[in-house]
Amino acid sequence: MSVPAADQDILARRSEIAKGLKSIIPNHLVIDDDSSMRAFDADGLSAYRQMPLLVVLPETTEQVAAILKWCQTEQVKVVPRGAGTSLSGGATPLGDGILLGLGKFNKILEVDYDNRCVVAQPGVTNLGITHEVQDDGFYYAPDPSSQIACSIGGNVAENSGGVHCLKYGLTTNNLLGIEMVTMDGEILRIGGKHLDAGDLDVLGVMTGSEGLLGVVTEVTVRILRKPATQRAMLVGFDTVQEAGTAVSSVIAAGIIPAGMEMMDGPAINAAEDFAAAGYPRDADALLIIELDGPEVEVDALLERVEAIMKSEGATSIRVSTSEEERNQFWAGRKSAFPAVGRISPDYLCMDGTIPRKALPEMLTRMAGMSQKYGLRVANVFHAGDGNLHPLILFDANAPGEWERAEAFGADILRNCVALGGVLTGEHGVGIEKRDLMGEMFSEDDLKQQQRVKCAFDPDHLLNPGKVFPVLHRCAELGRLHVHKGQMPHPELPRF
Amino acid sequence: MDILSPTSLDEVRDIIRNCLSDETSLSLRGAGTKSSLGNPVVADAQMQLSGMSGIITYEPEELILVARAGTELTEIEALLEAHNQMLSFEPFHPEILYGGTSSGTIGGMVGAGLSGPRRIASGGVRDYLLGFNAVSGRGDIFQSGSRVMKNVTGYDLSKLMAGSFGTLAIMDEITIKVLPAPETSVSLVVSCSDLASAQAACSQAFASAHEPTAACILPRDIAANVNLGGDAFAAIIRLEGVEVSVANRLTEMQNLLGPIGELHSLTQELSANLWRQVRDAAFFNETHEQIWKLSVAPTACVGIVNKIKTSIDASYFMDWAGGLIWLAGAGERLGADIRDVMASNGGGHATLMRASDDRRQNISVFQPQAPALMSLHTRIRRAFDPKQLLNPGRMGA
Ligand SMILES: Cc1cc2nc3c(=O)[nH]c(=O)nc-3n(C[C@H](O)[C@H](O)[C@H](O)COP(=O)(O)OP(=O)(O)OC[C@H]3O[C@@H](n4cnc5c(N)ncnc54)[C@H](O)[C@@H]3O)c2cc1C
């Protein structure tokens, strides 16, 4: 993957640009010394590091608007950044662009229980929202594993999910409104405490747009009452195939659990070494199924799920009997990344989604690829919705391993698409999967997406080089080629 | 007027390319059930989409259904019902409001983006449209989204398509996420002395852990008409799911809401019937000159309706715990008054759902947006349909 070559003219104007920005926002909000900028040189895809041209840390929406407008006039690129936990390089800086950090937007503005929503600034962490309302029995449902750190604005930009999105949806399903600033400095308010915004669903297309369409400066999210009871079940299987079938059988029985996660043998053992969660080490596949709701409902559904698991050939079944035990069940899954980090110097986390029924086939193929590339792989899945997180183990210091890991990852994603799935279920395209977009989309599909980009940012100044493998100029994209006189279907009437 | 009836996406593309060269605009028609919803369209020709119909794939275990845009909604609903599944967003059925015998097509359902009572609990049409393919007003075939539950690859153009009233592109294959239907469903009626306490009952229900899936408010006259309440406002809360759970939550809900007003519950059948009426705005009739739909913050409905009622003779009821106000009335000033009152009570958006062509000619059917947002909407439309060939003027500029 390559980062676009820096524009030398912009690099040469660096001090002038710093001065210009300092003339519109307070000096201390413009960071231009290398040692302070170092903290921003990468996001969660840390194999890619790049010092930004400058860092700006605005404190108000008006400052964001002034910065963007100035950058538009001066044709300077801008990369928005929340907490920098993106795993796809969405917030990787550009050497010839300013990094616009939203860390100072860290306040909860309003809690409204009667309308069940929270209004917050984008730099508030995902968990920060739940913390604000949990004493009153509420929570914010989407729960990415990075929730202690990642920002709600970053969640909007990535349309993040979590283990509970099977039942409660992704960010997009829990977002009611935003305030945003477009590259020309216009401040827009979309949605709010009401549902749908009227006219085109700009809120919907902003969600998951990876910082390419606008900068989110405020969010209104739905909060939910905490379920009365939550219980989890640990189920071991001899084969991943059986576990996969068991997952489908639960859904086919009309049950949508709050979460349904799967781990394969290597992931089970790594997690068990790390967290001692009580996982069956001899199992080749482990399911963690969580049910929530009123106690009687959870009891009734647990019974049904248990029956399904038995008939699908489960080798071990444990049901949590206390909150402590439930947390213990999850401890292994939630520490899967650091656990794998302990058995391998480095790992690469992939994020494709496939139709659930293709899971066994995908795992067979993955085993083959693991052999081919000579690298181990551990798998954790959001099995309920077919979202895979293969962790490719490698050693960045061993010559050629990083390249092999990247090639292995790309191969996995190509296979996801070939099996009817997609390149990314929740981590975003960023720079990581940018060059694979052609696997899933035709040239016309990608051009249509870029035309939407042009409606927001006609000069491609906001987070360019992400998501799209080839950047077409908006003027070129807008041109119409009228095929006059071509009549491949002469039977159709002409006017 | 020419009527074009393509049967494939390639044919649609060829037609659009010809339209581009001849600058011929098109009105798009599925079953035509909602053709009087939206700003009146003046177009050179009509494209009839019912020829592109049929269910392509239905995989209950994968929770997906793929159908061509011209497929009748009732055909899809019947198939899902036979497998104990459903369209969770309870799409609006147009027969009662607009007449006719068809419930419309799935393409029209997506285009109009009208969701029913469960919208507040688990999302609307927009939340269940996983992907589609289409021909843009540029005459290009493109696709977006996928057939899997979880996908963030590229922009989510499905969101733009839902509720765009055919002003962006002509869809063919539509992929929808479906869900298991609840095993049981009951409703609890709370008789309330005024609107404020009825709304409070709804808010309390949704703030509880008892997981209601819908809450509506009927004023005295409508409640009396459907035999739901002596002389009181009815707040009606729906509970769904596994039988033991529903029974348990009903008791809990009764304990919670008992202090607000007298309670009684509706059996499954009465409940289902009532929520269909709420979904389709069946409490209004042809004598109402204009029917409006307001989306507001649930608690704001009280102030809005009370204010409107001081100067206007209007009939109303609410869904979405108060967040959706259906309002029927008459007169030239009605729309402007509604929008003024809404703007000074926390905002939201108001849509004129039914009125004569004349009336719709003279007022914006959809909520006017702030200028900067409006011009963004226009730029997005042009990104799909630069020559404004598709349903010109029906929504937006
Ligand atoms: C250990 C670990 C576990 C993770 N687990 C999950 C998981 O379970 N599920 C999941 O979905 N993701 C997960 N992630 C990925 C990541 O946490 C999410 O993508 C998160 O939403 C990123 O938020 P952020 O604030 O860190 O954004 P950043 O990384 O700073 O930015 C991400 C993207 O959003 C843009 N952006 C940020 N803020 C704004 C804004 N205010 N306006 C406009 N654009 C903006 C950036 O330009 C960039 O493109 C995980 C990451 C890590 C490191």
List pLDDT tens digits, range B42-66. 999 999 999 999 999 999 999 999 9
Average pLDDT estimate for A162-174: 95
Do the Cβ atoms of A300 and B144 come within 8 Å? no
Please, which pLDDT band fits residue A485 given cuts at 50, 70 and 90? very low
Give the residue, by CA position, lying nearest to ligand 1 atom 6.
A144
Q: To test the ligand 1 pocket, which listed residue (A63, A124, A150) has its Cβ within 8 A of the most ligand atoms? A: A150
**Angle ∠(A49,A55,A56) on CA atoms, nearest 5:** 150
Q: To test the ligand 1 pocket, which listed residue (A85, A88, A92) has its Cβ within 8 A of the most ligand atoms? A: A85
Closest CA of chain A from B254, distance in Å: 15
A46 and A82 fall within a common domain = yes
Q: Which residue has the tokens 């209601």?
A: B212
Please, which pLDDT band fits residue A5 given cuts at 50, 70 and 90? confident
- Using CB atoms, pick whichever of B119, B159, B252 lies closest to residue A204: B159
Distance of alpha carbon A438 from alpha carbon B134, whole angstroms: 18
CB B145 within 8 A of CB B151: yes
CB pairs under 8 A between A and B: 310
Do the Cβ atoms of B376 and A202 come within 8 Å? yes
Do the Cβ atoms of B179 and A116 come within 8 Å? no
- Using CB atoms, pick whichever of B11, B157, B211 lies closest to residue A205: B157
Please, which pLDDT band fits residue A1 given cuts at 50, 70 and 90? low
Please, which pLDDT band fits residue A135 given cuts at 50, 70 and 90? very high
Distance of alpha carbon B289 from alpha carbon B269, whole angstroms: 32
Do the Cβ atoms of B209 and A182 come within 8 Å? no
What pLDDT, on a 0 to 100 scale, did the predictor assign at position A472?
Answer: 92
List pLDDT tens digits, range A386-436. 999 999 999 999 999 999 999 999 999 999 999 999 999 999 999 999 999
List pLDDT tens digits, range A146-158. 999 999 999 999 9
CB contacts, 8 Å: B377 with chain A:
199-200, 202
A58 lines ligand 1 (CB under 6 A): no
A161 lines ligand 1 (CB under 6 A): yes
How many Å lie between the centroid of ligand 1 and the Cα of residue B57? 34
- Using CB atoms, pick whichever of A137, A297, A357 lies closest to residue B244: A297
List pLDDT tens digits, range B334-361. 999 999 999 999 999 999 999 999 999 9
CATH of the domain at A426: 3.30.70.2740
Query: Residue A494: inside a domain, yes or no?
Result: no
Question: Mutation test of the interface with chain B: which of A156, A188, A195, A416, choosing the one with the most B Cβ atoms within 10 A?
Answer: A195
Check pLDDT > 80 for residue A484.
no
A262 and A323 fall within a common domain = yes
Average pLDDT estimate for B114-122: 97
A251 and A218 fall within a common domain = no
A351 lines ligand 1 (CB under 6 A): no
Average pLDDT, chain B: 96
Q: Torsion angle, CA of B296/B302/B303/B304, rounded to 10 degrees? A: 50
Give the residue, by CA position, lying nearest to ligand 1 atom 11.
A160
CB B46 within 8 A of CB B29: yes
Average pLDDT estimate for B168-193: 97
Query: Residue A445: inside a domain, yes or no?
Result: no
Give the residue, by CA position, lying nearest to ligand 1 atom 27.
A154
Please, which pLDDT band fits residue A159 given cuts at 50, 70 and 90? very high
What pLDDT, on a 0 to 100 scale, did the predictor assign at position A486?
Answer: 52
Nearest partner of B278 among B354, B226, B351, judged by Cα: B226
Query: Residue A444: inside a domain, yes or no?
Result: no
CATH of the domain at A298: 3.30.70.2190
Closest CA of chain B from A11, distance in Å: 30
How many Å lie between the centroid of ligand 1 and the Cα of residue A150? 6
User: How far is it between the farthest Cα atoms of chain B?
Assistant: 68
Number of domains in chain A: 4
Check pLDDT > 60 for residue B297.
yes
CB contacts, 8 Å: B146 with chain A:
353, 421-422, 440
Closest CA of chain A from B284, distance in Å: 23
What pLDDT, on a 0 to 100 scale, did the predictor assign at position A494?
Answer: 44
The last residue of a domain, from among A101, A133, A163: A101
Please, which pLDDT band fits residue A338 given cuts at 50, 70 and 90? confident
CB contacts, 8 Å: B19 with chain A:
495
Do the Cβ atoms of B151 and A189 come within 8 Å? no
Do the Cβ atoms of B159 and A207 come within 8 Å? yes
Query: Residue A81: inside a domain, yes or no?
Result: yes
Domains annotated on chain B, with CATH:
48-180 (3.30.465.10), 184-279 (3.30.70.2190), 290-371 (3.30.70.260)
What pLDDT, on a 0 to 100 scale, did the predictor assign at position A114?
Answer: 96
A204 and A302 fall within a common domain = no
CB contacts, 8 Å: B382 with chain A:
455
- Using CB atoms, pick whichever of A114, A354, A422 lies closest to residue B203: A114
* Percentage with pLDDT > 70 across chain B: 100
A145 lines ligand 1 (CB under 6 A): yes
Do the Cβ atoms of B159 and A203 come within 8 Å? yes
Check pLDDT > 60 for residue B381.
yes
Question: Mutation test of the interface with chain B: which of A448, A462, A470, A484, choosing the one with the most B Cβ atoms within 10 A?
Answer: A448
CATH of the domain at A170: 3.30.465.10
The last residue of a domain, from among A308, A337, A366: A337
Do the Cβ atoms of B152 and A426 come within 8 Å? yes
What pLDDT, on a 0 to 100 scale, did the predictor assign at position A483?
Answer: 66
A157 lines ligand 1 (CB under 6 A): yes
Do the Cβ atoms of B179 and A207 come within 8 Å? no
Check pLDDT > 60 for residue B166.
yes
CATH of the domain at A41: 3.30.43.10
Query: Residue A280: inside a domain, yes or no?
Result: yes
Query: Residue A159: inside a domain, yes or no?
Result: yes
Do the Cβ atoms of B207 and A301 come within 8 Å? no
Do the Cβ atoms of A204 and B119 come within 8 Å? no
A119 and A182 fall within a common domain = yes
Lowest-confidence segment of A69-78, A332-341, B374-383 by average pLDDT:
A332-341
Query: Residue A474: inside a domain, yes or no?
Result: no
Please, which pLDDT band fits residue A2 given cuts at 50, 70 and 90? low
A216 and A245 fall within a common domain = no
Do the Cβ atoms of A386 and B149 come within 8 Å? yes
Question: Mutation test of the interface with chain A: which of B8, B9, B81, B155, choosing the one with the most A Cβ atoms within 10 A?
Answer: B155
Closest CA of chain A from B270, distance in Å: 24
Q: To test the ligand 1 pocket, which listed residue (A160, A380, A461) has its Cβ within 8 A of the most ligand atoms? A: A160
List pLDDT tens digits, range A246-300. 999 999 999 999 999 999 999 999 999 999 999 999 999 999 999 999 999 999 9
A234 and A326 fall within a common domain = yes
Check pLDDT > 50 for residue B179.
yes
How many Å lie between the centroid of ligand 1 and the Cα of residue A427? 7
Please list the residues that pair with A422 across neighbouring strands. Answer: A353
The last residue of a domain, from among A49, A69, A101: A101
List pLDDT tens digits, range A464-480. 999 999 989 999 999 98
Q: To test the ligand 1 pocket, which listed residue (A81, A216, A221, A346) has its Cβ within 8 A of the most ligand atoms? A: A81
Average pLDDT, chain A: 94
Do the Cβ atoms of A441 and B346 come within 8 Å? no
**b/e per residue B359-377 (b: at least 16 CB within 10 A):** bbeebbbbbebeeebeebb
- Using CB atoms, pick whichever of B163, B209, B351 lies closest to residue A201: B163
Question: Three-state SS across chain A?
Answer: CCCCCCCHHHHHCHHHHHHHHHCCCCHHHEECCHHHHHHHCCCCCCCCCCCCCEEECCCCHHHHHHHHHHHHHHCCEEEEECCCCCCCCCCCCCCCEEEEECCCCCCEEEEECCCCEEEECCCCEHHHHHHHHHHHCEECCCCCCCCCCCEHHHHHHHCCCCCCHHHHCCHHHCEEEEEEECCCCCEEEEECCCCCCCCCCHHHHHCCCCCCCCEEEEEEEECEECCCEEEEEEEEECCHHHHHHHHHHHHHCCCCCCEEEEEEHHHHHHHHHHHCCCCCCCCCEEEEEEEEECHHHHHHHHHHHHHHHHHCCCCEEEECCCHHHHHHHHHHHHCHHHHHHHHCCEEEECCCECCHHHHHHHHHHHHHHHHHHCCCEEEEEEHHHCEEEEEEEECCCCCCHHHHHHHHHHHHHHHHHHCCCECCCCCCCCCCCHHHHHHHCCHHHHHHHHHHHHHHCCCCCECCCCCCCCCCCHHHHHCCCCCCCCCCCCCCCCC
More confident residue, A481 or B24: B24
CB A97 within 8 A of CB A465: no
A208 lines ligand 1 (CB under 6 A): no
List pLDDT tens digits, range B132-160. 999 999 999 999 999 999 999 999 999 99
Query: Residue A457: inside a domain, yes or no?
Result: no
List pLDDT tens digits, range B189-230. 999 999 999 999 999 999 999 999 999 999 999 999 888 877
Average pLDDT estimate for B290-299: 98
What pLDDT, on a 0 to 100 scale, did the predictor assign at position A207?
Answer: 98
A328 and A243 fall within a common domain = yes
Q: Which domain, by its residues, includes A85?
A: 5-101
A280 lines ligand 1 (CB under 6 A): no
